[in-house]
Amino acid sequence: MSTRYKTTTVDGIDVFYREAGSQDKPVLLLLHGFPSASHMFRDLIPLLEKDFRLIAPDLVGFGQTLVPDGREFVYSFENLTRIVEGFCANLALDRFSLYVFDYGAPIGFRLAMRYPEKIEAIITQNGNAYVEGFSDEWGPWEEYWRNPTPETREACRPSLAPETIREWQYGTGARKNRLAPDGYELDIAYMARPGAEERQLDLIGDYKSNVALYPDFQNYFREEQPPLLAVWGRHDPAFIPPGADAFKRDLPNAQVHLLDAGHFALETHAREIAAIVSEFSCAGPE
């Protein structure tokens, strides 16, 4: 089967998503990160469609999911989660596993806390839930959280620059001869759209709400013990390997795999990650 491209309307917003695999397979909901969209899963989806029904939406303000002109929308992680929640209801996703990355992680973990009975397993690819996972590169963002002023907001804008996306987010720790330009050039183009930087700066400011929820996420892990696979690019400049290892503190049976990759590990290691996920899907989620 090939990937299908669809939309469904949630609270007046047309949510774009990719879907592959047959209806009778276990559902894997893939939630992308910053500053990307569901296209980050373009190489992974064909490798897993024999095992799963794969569903990958674009979050609001990313990719092809845009708020209609004239509509007010507050860009917060709670509101992004609310739309994903409605998306799952539209598609009648009653039982599913999560594949979360970067921004997708706090959204997925919010869903898991609210609907623990729906979650079969969690795969986190550089998707953080522990303060140990932060590198020392978060200074401007943390200052914006502590002191939200026009000046501290502006100090975060370089995070959105083309060279930052290309060289830091995608390039750091990646094997250059395996890193295609497709992903980062599309993300750069998305960031150049009118209003995109301001939407992203709003979310950067709200990222502190995710950190505040880390104790709740961890309590969910301890109480519910979902099968969890952490597959991590060990050279990620934002989320470092101790964040992957920390899952084992609350989930002793968690599987942790560190790859010779950067933040966007799927860009260079999609086949390796697919093999790990397929093996985990056979052994873990039952």
Q: Among residues 32, 39, 235, 263, which one is catalytic?
A: 263
Q: What gap in Å lies between CA 3 and CA 154, rounded to an integer?
A: 39
CB 110 within 8 A of CB 77: yes
**31 SS3 class:** strand
Q: What ranges in 98-253 are assigned the alpha helix state H?
A: 104-114, 139-146, 150-154, 162-163, 182-191, 196-212, 214-224, 241-245, 247-250
CB 234 within 8 A of CB 261: yes
**Residue 39: active-site member:** no
Could you tell me the CA-to-CA distances from 254 to 104, 138, 229, 251, 284 in Å, in that order? Answer: 19, 27, 6, 5, 9
Instruction: Sheet containing 228-233: give its strands across.
Output: 4-10, 13-20, 53-57, 27-31, 96-101, 119-125, 228-233, 255-259
**Positive/negative CA dihedral, 36, 104, 171, 211:** positive
Q: What gap in Å lies between CA 7 and CA 159, rounded to an integer?
A: 30
- Which residues are catalytically annotated? 263
